[in-house]
Amino acid sequence: MEIALEPGIPTYSGGLGVLAGDTVRSCADLELPMVFVTLVSRKGYLRQSIAPDGSQQESIDPWNPADHAEPLDAAVAVRIEGRPVWILPWLYMHACPHGGCAPVILLDTHLEVNDPADRGITDRLYGEGADLRLKQEIVLGIGGERILRALGFEITTWHLNEGHAALLPLSLLRRHPLGKDEPAATTLRYDAEPVRERCVFTTHTPVEAGHDRFSYDLVQRMMGDFFEIGQLRHIAGAEELNMTRLALNLSGWVNGVATRHAETAQRMFPGYHIHAVTNGVHVPTWTHPAFAALFQTVSPEWAHDPGALRGADHLADEAVWTAHRQAKGELLAEVQHRCSTALDPDLPVIVFARRMTGYKRADLLFSDLAQLRRVAREFPFQVVMAGKAHPRDEGGKALIRQVHEHARELADTLPVVFLPNYEMGLAKKMVAGADIWLNTPLPPMEASGTSGMKAALNGVPHLSVLDGWWAEACEEGANGWAIGSDGGPPAQHAGELYDKLWSTVLPLWHHDRAGWIALMKQVISRTGSRFHSQRMMRRYAAEAYLR
Ligand SMILES: *Cc1c(COP(=O)(O)O)cnc(C)c1O
């Protein structure tokens, strides 16, 4: 549903879209013969500003497809509520510096021929209400399949990136009816095997809101003429259409996005075999130019084959620290620009930047202000935060207000700033300019997380709850630190966070500069060399696409 192609195209909400963008970029690097399909989302997701009281102000974030993509000479229609809805494809071509490229098709219903009510279907990412959401998923899944066919692509393997695209295999299934003499109603009258052979499904979250469900009344009204509801119940859930269930039943290879997440998904969906392909990030995209210049001395192959970053331990201390100071200076300039706050480059900066939603616990650091003050008095530091809340996530919006309230309360001892409108461009500055990358989700809700991997490419150690990718990456003290490694209850995480900051992390930063730089180099050599999207895409290609 979302792909973060470049900072000027705001058609993504967070990690899912940024990961899809890194997938496109790696696919081009590796010259994999893939084509990507998503919605054009002409009005973007949301542009965030913050009122003085800390409340999130939302506006649309429009962009002009004609500035970045070219309209293709083709169109297909899908039927929604009995009306034809025409879809125009735009071609966005991602080209990588080595010469590889990856085409991305952006689906657009903003056409004169369409009923005015249907023109806005592809306007806004994750539009309001179940009706619009289902319409968007019809355009994506059914329209996406038809567009590729109309454009002459011969697809051997379909990869459903999250359940939003699950109507695609349903569209394929219609081509495989069983003979008329099969027993009716009580069984599926289609042969799912040929569809399953060709479909791969990646599930991205254990969070309930991430799994779309639609009432069959709605499905009947929107697309009752597409697939008989009685038949749909066999493969998409008896009570309601569950997009995850549909994708699971029609895909022959299913995976979660980290080892821990695959285990969680396996418990959520017993009866299916869930593989694990741990996420990765696109190395040249997320490496600051100053570090990129250093990596060039480690190996000229580093961008294409980031395993070469294992050699980063041999970089000169001075050079690493100079590159870090440059990246940090750029982040602090951004803070000055956006918040008129001058942070001190000679004190450590802890960054927390992610979607603002309950399970990510942006407030964990502020659980006990007295303790936090004690830590900050002994080992001064600064906090930089960012993140958008989904327009309907009241809890997420409340978190943003609380962070602002805490920032005011702590003003005398601990500078805390919140940068509005977290997006790819700002993320690049934050992951490179931090001293410490903080991550405090409530286990097991963080399927993977990727921003800590981006930080690692810039030598920034991860201080994180053991969940998602960190559960398999953490080497205590060698590439960062774990919170909750003893398996204690989440209520203890705040206490452990303060302990670790006070006893280990901040003393190392303040009193052992050589030790800190040695750690930064290990972060690159141990984490940066492993958690990249080249490895991720090679695994998808070898294990899922060519199975
Ligand atoms: C990387 C990234 C994310 C995802 O971060 P998580 O670690 O998964 O929380 C979200 N938004 C932006 C803009 C990003 O660059």
Q: Please say whether the beta carbons of 544 and 159 come within 8 A.
A: yes
CB 429 near ligand 1, within 6 Å: no
pLDDT, the chain, mean: 96
Provide the pLDDT for residue 434: 98
Supply the pLDDT for residue 182.
Answer: 61
317 in the same domain as 466: yes
- 511 pLDDT tier (thresholds 50, 70, 90): very high
Q: Which atom of ligand 1 is nearest to the CA of 387?
A: 11
Q: Which of 88, 121, 153 is the last residue of a domain?
A: 153
- Whether residue 328 contacts residue 435, with contact meaning beta carbons closer than 8 Å, is answered with yes
> Does the pLDDT at position 248 exceed 90?
yes
Q: What is the mean pLDDT of residues 35-62?
A: 97
Bond from prior residue into 71 cis (ω within 30 degrees of 0): no
Beta carbon of 457 within 6 Å of any ligand 1 atom: no
Place 183 in a pLDDT band, splitting at 50, 70 and 90. low
Structure tokens given for 398: 């409340």
> CA-to-CA distance for 14 and 422, rounded, in angstroms?
9
- Provide the number of structural domains found in the chain: 3
**Banded model confidence at residue 184, pLDDT cuts 50, 70, 90:** low
Confidence (pLDDT) at 371? 98
133-162 confidence digits (pLDDT tens): 999 999 999 999 999 999 999 999 999 999
Q: Dump pLDDT digits (tens) for 75-104.
A: 999 999 999 999 999 999 999 887 899 999
The answer to whether residue 28 scores a pLDDT higher than 70 is: yes
456 within ligand 1 shell (Cβ under 6 A): no
The predicted structure's pLDDT at residue 400: 98
Q: b/e for 102-117, b at 16 or more Cβ within 10 A?
A: bbbbbbbbbeeebeee
Cβ atoms of residues 479 and 486 within 8 Å: no
Q: Burial letters for 170-196: b for 16+ Cβ neighbours within 10 Å, e otherwise?
A: bbbbeeeeeeeeeeeeeeebbebeebb
More confident residue, 184 or 213: 213
pLDDT of residue 210: 85
CATH number at residue 522: 3.40.50.2000
pLDDT of residue 224: 93
Å from CA of 543 to ligand 1 middle:
26
**Mean pLDDT on 321-341:** 97
If asked whether residues 445 and 328 sit together in one domain, one would say: yes
Q: Write the residue with the smallest CA distance to atom 12 of ligand 1.
A: 14
Tell me what the mean pLDDT of segment 468-484 comes to. Answer: 97
Identify any residues that bridge with 439 across adjacent strands, giving them in sequence order. Answer: 464
Q: Residue 47 above 80 pLDDT?
A: yes
Distance 439 CA to ligand 1 centre (A): 11
Q: Is pLDDT above 80 for 488?
A: yes
Structure token pair of residue 413: 């001892």
268 and 357 in a single domain? The answer is no
pLDDT band at 246 (very low <50, low <70, confident <90, very high): very high
Same-domain status, 67 and 117: yes
Stated pTM of the model: 0.97
Same domain, 265 and 364: no
Over residues 71-77, the mean pLDDT reads 97
Measured CA to CA in angstroms, residue 166 lies from 123, 139, 163, 485 at distances of: 21, 11, 5, 37
Mean pLDDT of 389-407: 97
Of 101, 122, 153, the residue at which a domain comes to its end is 153
My answer on whether 253 and 307 are in the same domain is no
Considering 98, 124, 153, which residue would you say is the last residue of a domain?
Answer: 153
Cα(357) to centroid(ligand 1), Å: 13
The pLDDT value given to residue 209 = 82
Say if residue 547 is in the same domain as residue 493: no
Q: Are residues 147 and 165 in the same domain?
A: no
75 and 129, same structural domain? Answer: yes
Residues 104 and 208 in one domain: no
Q: 100 with 204, same domain? A: no
- Cβ(491)–Cβ(483) below 8 Å: no
> CA dist 219 to 35, 82, 132, 437, Å?
28, 12, 12, 43
Residue in 11, 23, 48, 354 to alter for ligand 1 test, most ligand atoms within 8 A of Cβ = 354
288 shares a domain with 184: no
Interval 418-451: pLDDT, tens: 999 999 999 999 999 999 999 999 999 999 999 9
How many whole angstroms separate alpha carbon 135 and alpha carbon 167?
11
> How is residue 203 written in tokens?
């599930």
How many Å apart are CA 89 and CA 230, to the nearest integer? Answer: 33
Look up the domain containing 171 and give its range: 156-282+532-547
Span 266-275, pLDDT tens digits: 999 999 999 9
